[in-house]
Structure 1
């Protein structure tokens, strides 16, 4: 919005141009209104015409149909009074916008039908008087007939059978109208055939293809084209999200979600578009949007989730059921108003048809993050423990308590179900503890429940909580007369306390020291505690071994290896004497991991193989998935991805038989993703990554989940699945903890950066540039990470250059150079600077050459610094790339002699390729081709150019690089033809 009113017409035109770059919405509309006020101060009428045209456009695409006809009336009066001020372009725009007014009047039920017809007569008379063809008039007449619900056959033929004119709607819009005619007649196949040029991206305009995509979704499903429907949903939704003038399209995407088993995604998209409840001023668009919203809410309610929160009108909190009632009343009223105006029941009937549609598919995986309504249901105050569906929980309370303790001693997963049931029973106000000596007092049961809670806290790395809970359990065990259990709880306190993270650079050393001290204390406790049962003594031995194993993981020191083996062997011998299968397995697993950490991978595999054989013969079966997971990871390190995949897939299959707290499936999914990538199966890898991330989210490990999702987003972008990547990141960035700033800001920035790159790959340059500019501004404050700011600012400079904003591009490049001086990013910065120079020369020609060369000079200094630092680029050398770019930049600017000299320097730096240098052969051939084109075509020296090309062709052919010769052969032939 301008801070001061334009004082000259030049300032006014610049302000109008600046406003035209803004997205449609209140800011653009208010600015356009102010610019009309400013234009009225000038004596010249032409600036006012331009300002009024901008204001009408803002009203039209800002969904304010009541105001658009008023502005047009002023334009029409100016045209009638001073037709000479309208040049051909302004006259064309004026007559084009008769259609805008027709659309606006149709959208307002308070405008009588007679007035709509009168306006069409006015349009026809004006077109005839101006000598213009009537195809646009008949198009509007057909659209009115379709809106009212009349028999449209004649109106359609009168429009569709006529030749198009310069004032006809664009091809994409007319294709959509023709397709909708066939769709209304029930002919899905014919509608889709008509739509194909738009769906394929061959025709587009301001609102296309987003409008057509939204209408085509259900016909695609009905004709079995589910993959195409999924693809177009992702692309089409991004084209209309949050846009008030496309609220109807958003409503159809919500309806699509409701009819494909994606109700949770529908609620997510509804939340993202909550602005549309209050920003859409068009009654017709409101009706379209609200009907789509109601289809979704009706479906969610029918599935028993009417009490879920839903995003709705501002000013109150909504549930699905409450919002549906409000939406239904408003939409019914709108439909009735349109039908009363039109004298038909068309809008009520169309609305009822949408609401009566049955789901077309039970499930259709729309995004990489597939969630059900259960997944978005707010968690209960106490998270339930996952249990096996077939876990048998005794009805008898004494039997239940004894079963829980026995299962816990064995490490059996069914203990979780028993403890969960007991936790519920004990919390009840009418709980009565059994008077049974075998069960013991209530204090002991409460201690058991605290110990179970402490163990689960430790598994989630909440070590301080775990220590406090174990300490409380120990005191209750003492009160209950269970000294062995009390000792075991205090042993757990020692280990949990040692694992509490220590801040600062000496963190690893402090942790290692704490674990050493904890081990010594555990040994003393073991020696000084009499009367331990075999189960309790084995648990203590396991804790001793675990303390030393954690110390080895922390330090990686060779001197810490032998003590782990000693404790593991002590545990294995004791467990073998007492036939404790779970502890025998634990000891062998500890030995295998210790060999792996110490670098002896073959022995680690041998130990794991032996453990697997024992587990298959003697159990416990629930240790199999974890052991297979370990062997799979070892195979990955040993570069055996197929063997790793086999083990990990089997581990994941077996893990499904047990609760998630018994076997961590997230790690299995992550490792399987790596195996799939090494086997060249990236799509399968993507599925495992997203599954792992969603499981982490459900367990509350949100940072781990977002990190994994970030990797999945990058992989989907690498695979060219741009819309999948954007949809995934949009979903993540809308999560409450992200929106509230509770997640690590660097992780959020990484998600946004990947999204910005995906938007760029998806050719949404405007949105990508806006995100990069924002990230560059934020990362400028990362004093601890100037290297990341250098990379972000460099990419920002390239996007600004693509948009033609070279002033801001230069500023961003300077920021990147300043950050690079603190934390060098040689190759990334060099690549960006060269691209910036190329874009400036390509877009500005000779006028842009001085600035382009200045940018290349900066790239040259970066290359000099890299050479001095001994940096080796991952691709071609920075010097070679720089010489080649000098050639391109000078060629774009018409400095052909300088271009040829630079390309010859690049060829010298590259050197002739060898027989195995496929990549270098391609680079060398392209450099020869460009040099040949500059020399032969632009410098008009075809003979030496042909000599250069022929020599290169012969060289490449002799080396077997025949594919690389094709562009050279084509250029040589062209030079011969032109000679």
Structure 2
């Protein structure tokens, strides 16, 4: 653990104390505070020691270490008695404020006799009276002791709540919480929520509020029918207390809330995230509160039949739900008994029993976008979900997959495929389904893979089954298709080639040809080397693969029709992917020719799967060629054919393509209808057999076009879940990133943060197995969401960490420039301008390697604005230095021919000069800069865009001129002319602030 340097002077000591005060509460801050007390004692001066002791007591208090807090306070009180002159008014106020901290700490320790607690309150009262301080804080502590002990608290409440607050009273937020809890205890949830309203709305807050109030208000909100509000507060409130030892009780109540709303799986996830609380909470009272919430959750999970699920618990051993529940029950009962023995009542055992016996309040409440069930947390499912990662296969892999008719495991929306019990029958059935291209073949191969891997496997002596080597080749071939689906084409090549060798040894000549053909196509999909023109190289490779497959087919003789059909489909797919890769319309004709050849052959031999494949390929080729009506006509013909002749599992894919074509025809409603119907039919088949993930993603796009963002979020989340179940973790994480961004764009900030927190807690993320740049993208989005949610401290910490890490991305200076620029702006917003300047310099250095003109200009201008706004005239020189640097960036951008998305960088710079000078009171300079900006912007036109920026510039110029320079007449001329012009152009919304300012100037005139 890092320790503080030993201060050599009191100035260094005070600096170290300030730095330590910035750290989060926990062991690091506490140990450093202890060392700083030791250092302060060496100076033989009372004032530095008082400051150090106050910092140490705070670290103990909010680090959940109540045993040590009273000891430190005793030293402070002794110093006050012996050297009162060392305590100025502020230190004296802090000292008497903290009598309440000691009272809270003593209540939390069952080994402290009740008489000692009452004696301490008497000491507090005597001290307050001696100092001439009001007694409301004393009566507040007396009330809290009465509640803790379980006495009749009504009189104590009146003696406290009826008194006027004093400067030493608990903050408004804390007192509101106590008054609300009094109402809850009386059974009046409605009145409690009325009392809580200012805190729950964020109007009153402190160190522990509103997180403490939120945790207590969750169940009253449910009981009074405000489930949506409870959900909203759970997301925000949990984030404020997670992993915090001093708020372990609040975490316990969030776990209880999950258990009582049908969110047991989320509760277990949150428990895992807070496993540190089992060992880091030193307050027995907080332990009791936390463990009771944990037990509510675990009892519920065990009662639902999942007692054997693994669960996070005390360090040193692996826990199941049932095992941890028993452990927690024993510890919780013991703590409650200790408090009741000390207090001489049964209050704590009674409250604990009431919580444990509470029935669920709702069957199901969707708390998070990433909703899971307990079944999905089963050990086998969890292992499977975390076991594979990789990108999705490209269109070529889809073509090969369709040629073989492979499918992946069921998505959970369909009953599992019927798998024969007898081994010979199972092998034969798997091959039959495979020839047909039936999705259920995959389930048979999966069962066979398990059987063959068993130590006692014996291959049947049955001519219908064939030799063991052929079965091994079948399994390798199936694995090759699944590997290609995950985007690992190089491995798929190896698997297909190994399968071809085994087929050859087994004398299965048809399968040898097919395996070699699949290997050729997979090899053409392997990504090229760095520096190659990848699209060109890939297109050429696909053409070569097509030619090689043609030669293979021509050289073979006596192939079974289903093998001929697959080879024809592979040939057509190779050319189809080449067209998609190159985008060259000249490549379309040969695709149509191959598709026609496939369709004619498949029709003649009754290969319905390949007939459908040929028509799908034709429709896709029409679409790539730009003939969308012809593509729709082809799909409509296919839909009719599938309805009559099958195969039924192609219908969802056909409807999916039809929906995408409707997008191209700008008919989002029709696209939505096709995709929704496709998803309905997809429920009958394994997810990957019908590309359920793609259907959900496309339906989400349709929902966005139709203005249904909530429905879009649901569909995107389901798309990611399907990919997760199929082991496509990178695809799933990328989709979840889109979900989180969409939440952010539509103001669902807490949903975004909760989703990102869940993703960042995944084992392959915490274990460093997921691509580090993808993880950085998750963290960057989380930092932006925290900033949008006004959690500036947490956002700043995440941005700073990301900026430090991205500095090492030598292969990607542009991303570092972006992250560093955003970090500098957030640091500036937090008032840390020295650090902001350092990070901005790093952003500029990265920008020199990979220019990001607009981003860097925005950063420098924002830092200038923030300095002027926060520091006034004292910050002008530094602000102008930032603007000078932004001017050099604008010159370089102009020289490089860079075109910004909106206004020019010179225009933005002139406008910022105006704002900066206005903030520091240099109004003539501000007006001149704004006039320059208006000249650069030019007059607005009728088109959308630009009018808002022009209007804002006019408004600011009018305010500077009319209000601060006290020249209302020319300001009104400016404003009236702007209003008239904007009105004539139809920009009525942009007129409103200008008209409002003009009215203000006329009223004041």
Please indicate the TM-score interval, normalised by the length of the shorter structure. Answer: over 0.9
1:711 and 2:738 matched? yes
* Equivalent-residue separation in structure 2 for 1:824 and 1:501 (angstroms): 28
After the TM superposition, which residues 280-319 of structure 1 pair with which residues of structure 2 at under 5 Å, given as runs? 280-319=281-320
1:563 to partner: Cα distance? 2.7
CA distance 1:527–1:7, shift in 2 (3 Å): closer
Deviates more, 1:619-628 or 1:448-457: 448-457
CA distance 1:411–1:46, shift in 2 (3 Å): same
1:936 to partner: Cα distance? 2.9
* Equivalent-residue separation in structure 1 for 2:837 and 2:803 (angstroms): 13
1:131 to partner: Cα distance? 2.0
1:484 and 2:510 matched? yes
Q: Which residue of 2 aligns with 1:550?
A: 577
Q: Which residue of 2 aligns with 1:736?
A: 763
Deviations 1:34-62 (CA, angstroms, capped at 9, x unpaired): 22223223344222222222211111111
CA distance 1:661–1:938, shift in 2 (3 Å): closer
Q: Which residue of 1 aligns with 2:61?
A: 60
1:669 and 2:670 matched? no
Q: Which residue of 2 aligns with 1:270?
A: 271
Q: Which residue of 1 aligns with 2:889?
A: 862
Say whether the 8 Å CA contact 1:457–1:463 is kept in structure 2: yes
Say whether the 8 Å CA contact 2:3–2:31 is kept in structure 1: no
* Equivalent-residue separation in structure 2 for 1:944 and 1:496 (angstroms): 73
Structure 1, unaligned runs of 5 or more: none
Partner SS for 2:804? helix
Deviations 1:525-550 (CA, angstroms, capped at 9, x unpaired): 32333332222222222222223333
1:210 to partner: Cα distance? 0.1
Deviations 1:275-328 (CA, angstroms, capped at 9, x unpaired): 212221111111111111222222222233333332222233333233223222
Q: Which residue of 1 aligns with 2:823?
A: 796
Say whether the 8 Å CA contact 1:791–1:825 is kept in structure 2: yes
Say whether the 8 Å CA contact 1:838–1:885 is kept in structure 2: yes
Q: Alignment partner for residue 815 of structure 1, among 819, 842, 852?
A: 842
CA distance 1:530–1:213, shift in 2 (3 Å): same
* Equivalent-residue separation in structure 1 for 2:507 and 2:778 (angstroms): 54
1:416 and 2:417 matched? no
Deviates more, 1:570-579 or 1:505-514: 505-514
Deviations 1:2-21 (CA, angstroms, capped at 9, x unpaired): 75333333333222222221
* Equivalent-residue separation in structure 1 for 2:960 and 2:491 (angstroms): 72
Q: Alignment partner for residue 911 of structure 1, among 935, 938, 960?
A: 938
After the TM superposition, which residues 241-640 of structure 1 pair with which residues of structure 2 at under 5 Å, given as runs? 241-379=242-380, 385-386=409-410, 388-389=414-415, 391-394=417-420, 400-423=426-449, 444-475=470-501, 477-478=503-504, 482-506=508-532, 507-640=534-667
Deviates more, 1:943-952 or 1:534-543: 943-952
Q: Which residue of 1 aligns with 2:782?
A: 755
Deviations 1:776-814 (CA, angstroms, capped at 9, x unpaired): 112222222222211111111111111111111111122
1:473 to partner: Cα distance? 4.4
Partner SS for 1:201? coil
Deviations 1:472-513 (CA, angstroms, capped at 9, x unpaired): 544555555543344333433333344344433335555445
Q: Which residue of 2 aligns with 1:884?
A: 911
* Equivalent-residue separation in structure 1 for 2:477 and 2:822 (angstroms): 53
Partner SS for 1:888? helix
Q: Which residue of 2 aligns with 1:80?
A: 81
After the TM superposition, which residues 776-855 of structure 1 pair with which residues of structure 2 at under 5 Å, given as runs? 776-855=803-882
Deviations 1:393-421 (CA, angstroms, capped at 9, x unpaired): 45666655544333322222233344445
Say whether the 8 Å CA contact 1:794–1:829 is kept in structure 2: yes
CA distance 1:178–1:613, shift in 2 (3 Å): same
* Equivalent-residue separation in structure 1 for 2:491 and 2:953 (angstroms): 64
CA distance 1:498–1:808, shift in 2 (3 Å): same
CA distance 1:951–1:530, shift in 2 (3 Å): closer
1:846 to partner: Cα distance? 0.6
CA distance 1:398–1:63, shift in 2 (3 Å): closer
* Equivalent-residue separation in structure 1 for 2:441 and 2:792 (angstroms): 56
1:429 to partner: Cα distance? 6.6
Deviates more, 1:107-116 or 1:457-466: 457-466
* Equivalent-residue separation in structure 2 for 1:3 and 1:481 (angstroms): 75
1:958 to partner: Cα distance? 4.7
Q: Which has the higher contact order (CA 8 A, sep 6+)?
A: 2
Q: Which residue of 2 aligns with 1:204?
A: 205
Q: Which residue of 1 aligns with 2:176?
A: 175
* Equivalent-residue separation in structure 2 for 1:390 and 1:314 (angstroms): 39
CA distance 1:197–1:510, shift in 2 (3 Å): same
Deviations 1:72-103 (CA, angstroms, capped at 9, x unpaired): 11222222223343332222212111111100
Partner SS for 1:239? helix
1:577 to partner: Cα distance? 1.2
* Equivalent-residue separation in structure 2 for 1:438 and 1:971 (angstroms): 90
1:233 to partner: Cα distance? 0.5
Question: TM-score scaled to structure 2, two decimals?
Answer: 0.93
Q: Which residue of 1 aligns with 2:946?
A: 920
Say whether the 8 Å CA contact 1:2–1:15 is kept in structure 2: no
* Equivalent-residue separation in structure 1 for 2:992 and 2:440 (angstroms): 68
* Equivalent-residue separation in structure 1 for 2:207 and 2:216 (angstroms): 16
1:448 to partner: Cα distance? 4.0
CA distance 1:441–1:117, shift in 2 (3 Å): same
Deviations 1:414-453 (CA, angstroms, capped at 9, x unpaired): 3334444555556667767666655556655554444434
Structure 2, unaligned runs of 5 or more: 386-407
Q: Which residue of 2 aligns with 1:934?
A: 960
Deviates more, 1:596-605 or 1:668-677: 596-605
Say whether the 8 Å CA contact 1:474–1:489 is kept in structure 2: yes
CA distance 1:632–1:51, shift in 2 (3 Å): same
* Equivalent-residue separation in structure 2 for 1:78 and 1:109 (angstroms): 28
1:714 to partner: Cα distance? 1.1
1:655 and 2:682 matched? yes
